[in-house]
Structure 1
């Protein structure tokens, strides 16, 4: 026993002596990647002359900005868009998710796959696909004799297209939450006299509330920070949100840095309020159901509702998945748009152009692939170290580290881009990543860091201290313990997170629009600029390649996770 106590004390002593360096290095990296951009946004919002190297006249510009009626309009439009997308996503995702989680649904795996595809289509590509489908002389008019341009290029059209992209977040959250909680407690309610609807709304649905709240928060955050869909569909109609307002202050002369920084702060506050509201909801909806018995996860038969429910899933899949995919693929395979849907107008010319050596499309694809891989590796390493310090140590400063690692959840992409511009475009830096590909890498790392941190933290929490203690007591260094014991144990989860990071980084748009230096083009920028220049076919061909790449990565993630379970 004394030897055991002494070994444990030695283990704790080694841990304390070995972790300050890794804690300090990880904190410094997070300060540079996460805190520095936000700090300069706050400074620019306070000191309007910061870009000129002056701290004079603090807050002197706020009266002009807040008296501008456009600010209220941008904020109101942003909130209205976020709330409407959340409500419509809940209207679609919660019933479908409940049906998927409770009943034996025909072709259930097929519907899961089809509902995953819209989430894999970058929102701006989906918006461009719907334009080709519903515009005058679009595919819907050529096939069915109708178009919906007046609806598509409006606020309602933006909500419609964005909802079809993000409702799968709610669908998968609800279906998995309800399936994991099982139906045993609802059966008890039925035995006690409750009707099926009463048991669903008072037992089954409340148990899924945490998952629903988290998914709706994510939908709201995705809606208020999305740039491509509002810019493509409603900008010409005069509908602007905070994201498009920030971008215009950078792209229109004269450049308004204080105004862009102030709008960025407003956008961050909205995102933080959403996170606060979610925590309040979850705090009031905590239910303990574990009693030592496994939950009954058997699915119920649909009976007479079998085929009507199947038809409902088919209609949603047709609208959300098949229609935009059809539009994107057909446009990519057409020689000319004026040729219409004719067999002799189909060709692979645009794909040939993409894969021609030296072509700008191929260079953009290589740039996005390289940045995606680099972002996955860096966020994986930083997420591993941050999660280890937060979960496996008791050092002072780990609370700050935890806060820094999750802060990007409340930072929309355009806010990170604005912060990096303000932070690194200063004359006092001896060396700066501004106007190089490194600035894109910093932006992607900041935005996507929470994925590896969350996955690694969950994996570390499931690993006891005994193996690490044995290794450290027997002379293993901190590096050896991490690389030879802990990393192999959490590697499946960490790799899954890194694959997700790669998939998202390789298609990111809004930060790339603001930060990409001259001569460097990513796939998202290539697609966006091809549409601006009228080269729709080649832009859609690149879209098909991007969708195939990200979907393949997500399928690989899913298969990997299933094999590890």
Structure 2
């Protein structure tokens, strides 16, 4: 297998996963009759959509919520990430694991858990008499709920950047008389700015594309977002494909504006290691501030993980919601029902885990090829490959779903994955490809440009250098990216709702349907089981990674 073959296969896969769905969305937005095979009435759907009274509310709601989530994620994630990256914290890996759990908790499940906890006659009111119903069902409440799920992207971006770049330059500044605060502001923070901007942008993008939280809380809060509007146009009869496509283009435009703003603020700054050797982390001592910092991190973990987790578990073990927090109301019947009700629950769990595993493997391999071609080989046309691989980061899940429906629901395809589980796998791979590309690309840049050329000089082919030298060095970053893909894919909701074939359910769809049918206890039992299984798989993978690293 040579470089040209890898490049051709990579480009073909990127075109199928990214370029074609995006092209069909644009064509449907421009030509309202495109789904029927016609190209008449170009742009005629735009005036009709602009006349809808809901459109300004959807645009303002999307921008306000996403901006609020991005800013609040920085307020929470930046100091926590700095504490993890700069200082010698007790139990550092435990904090990483704690803040990884929100990725395993679907945002819509977190929203429903907070609803059961904070609404009138919820668990908080039963325990303390405090009623925060009005706070929950408001724009502020939606921003808070979404932030508690999304802020870890800023935390991990900041902490990993600091751990990778080290503190050598800041220490030099200290030796020359700079105060700790001055060294941080003038040395550490500028080096950190690309990672911080990337984390903030990712938080903004995740908030823009979120469907479950605004769908669960937005109707009672009077908040409408574009994702909910697109789903309504696809789910309500008559189906409005042109309207959904135009809204999808608007959503893509908002996400791309975020990318443009990030590039404007940070340019092409990057932090690399010229030696190719990882920097040993020697954190500064916190001293007197150790306890306050641990209290702050524990408080955030309690709000983001413990409270919604307890609400989820209590609902799964409660016979009825109206029974309240009493011993007589505790039961395991909802968990037992998962294993006895005609096989609906366990197949859903198996389907989600299988699809998540397949997506993590495929995106890991494709991300490796993309990063290798762009960073190490620097082939001609690498900018196109790089742009296609990162474009899904600006494509919300509902947009990907619309594009795949328009692309594959066509009679001219001899073979089509439409109405099969293959559509779900394609959608997950499209949505989550940027994670491996970014993680692996960053790891390859840390290696510097000397290792692979040295292997080539000694007679190794490009593929042999990749397999024997580059891959072992960047495998920890690759595995970390695949773990993130697995975690997110296992709880993906919106494309699962749009693309699941008849008779096939994922965990997300199963839980969502249970809540629609009023089976809250069973839905939360399934959510609890899924979280435990996902966490066990994640811990096993991390243990294997550490074991391989030691050997």
Equivalent position to 2:77, from 93, 106, 118: 93
What displacement does 1:74 show?
A: 1.3
Deviates more, 1:298-307 or 1:165-174: 298-307
Query: Residue 486 and residue 191 in structure 1: after superposition, are their counterparts in 2 closer, same or farther (change >3 A)?
Result: closer
1:123 correspondence with 2:107 = yes
For 2:261, the equivalent position in structure 1 comes to 277
User: TM-score under structure 1 normalisation?
Assistant: 0.87
Q: Secondary structure at the match of 1:23?
A: helix
TM-score, normalized by length of structure 2? 0.89
- Between the aligned partners of 2:322 and 2:397, the Cα distance in structure 1 is 36
Deviations 1:478-503 (CA, angstroms, capped at 9, x unpaired):
88887777766655544443333222
Q: Structure 1 residue 438 and structure 2 residue 438: aligned?
A: no
In the alignment, which residue of structure 1 is the partner of 2:490? 506
Query: 1:500, 1:168 → 2: CA distance?
Result: 12
Q: Which runs of 5+ in 2 are unaligned?
A: none
1:159-308 alignment, distance < 5 Å: 159-183=143-167, 185-186=169-170, 196-283=180-267, 298-308=282-292
**2:317 paired residue among 333, 336, 352:** 333
Does residue 1:343 correspond to 2:331, yes or no? no
Q: Is the 8 A contact 2:452 2:469 kept in 1?
A: no
- CA displacement at 1:105 relative to structure 2: 3.7
Cα distance between partner residues in 1 of 2:119 and 2:510? 22
Question: Is contact 1:492–1:560 with CA below 8 Å preserved after alignment?
Answer: no
Distance 1:185 1:481 in 2: 32
Match for residue 464 of structure 1 among 452, 462, 481: 452
Q: Distance in 1 between matches of 2:476 and 2:300?
A: 33
Per-residue CA deviation, residues 198-254 of structure 1 (Å, 9 max, x unaligned), is 443333322321221111111111111010011101123321111111111111222
Q: Which moved more, 1:387-396 or 1:276-285?
A: 387-396
Q: Distance in 2 between matches of 1:186 and 1:485?
A: 32
Task: Give the whole-Å Cα distance in 1 for the aligned partners of 2:470 and 2:24.
Answer: 37
Q: Which moved more, 1:353-362 or 1:281-290?
A: 281-290
Q: In the alignment, what sits opposite 1:49?
A: 33
Match of 1:323 in 2: 307
SS of equivalent to 1:312 = helix
Q: Which whole-Å CA distance do the structure 1 matches of 2:32 and 2:454 have between them?
A: 55
Instruction: Tell me, yes or no, if the aligned pair for 1:471 and 1:481 is still in contact at 8 Å.
Output: no
Q: How far, CA to CA, are the matches of 2:351 and 2:175 in structure 1?
A: 61
Q: Which whole-Å deviations, capped at 9, do the CAs of 1:320-379 have from their partners, x for residues lacking one?
A: 221111111111122222222112322222222223374211111121122222223332
Give the match for residue 504 of structure 2: 520
Q: CA 1:208–1:479 in 2, change beyond 3 Å: closer, same or farther?
A: closer
Aligned pair in 2 of structure 1 residues 455, 561: CA closer, same or farther (>3 Å)? Answer: farther
What does residue 74 of structure 1 align with?
Answer: 58
Match of 1:452 in 2: 436
**Conserved? CA contact 2:103–2:488, under 8 Å:** no
- Residue 364 of structure 2, aligned match among 377, 380, 383: 380
> Is residue 520 of structure 2 the alignment partner of residue 532 of structure 1?
no
Deviates more, 1:186-195 or 1:509-518: 186-195
- The count of aligned residue pairs is 545
| Inter-CA distance 550–292: structure 2 relative to 1 (3 Å threshold) | closer
CA distance in 1, matches of 2:317, 2:263: 47
**For the residues of structure 2 that align with 1:384 and 1:106, how far apart are their CA atoms?**
34
Q: Which has the larger radius of gyration?
A: 1
Give the 3-state SS of the residue equivalent to 1:146 in structure 2: coil
Could you tell me how far 1:90 is from its partner in structure 2? 1.4
Show CA shifts across 1:54-111 (max 9, x none).
1011112222223434323212211111111111111122222223333444554443
2:352 is the counterpart of 1:368: yes
Runs (5+) with no aligned partner, structure 1? 1-14
Counterpart CA distance in 2 for 1:493 and 1:94 is: 22
Query: Which one of the candidate residues 152, 156, 160 is aligned to 2:140?
Result: 156
Is the 2:105–2:491 Cα contact (8 Å) retained in structure 1? no
User: CA separation in 1, counterparts of 2:109 and 2:286?
Assistant: 36
State the superposition RMSD in angstroms. 3.1
Structure 2 counterpart SS, 1:40: helix
Change (3 A) 1:387 1:98: closer
Provide closer, same or farther for how the CA distance between residues 91 and 256 of structure 1 changes in structure 2, counting only shifts above 3 A: same
Kept in 2, the 8 Å contact 1:468–1:485? The answer is no
Aligned position for 1:112: 96
2: CA distance between counterparts of 1:203 and 1:507? 39
Structure 1: how far apart are the matches of 2:114 and 2:37?
46
Structure 2 distance, partners of 1:292, 1:339, is 61
1:142: which partner in 2? 126
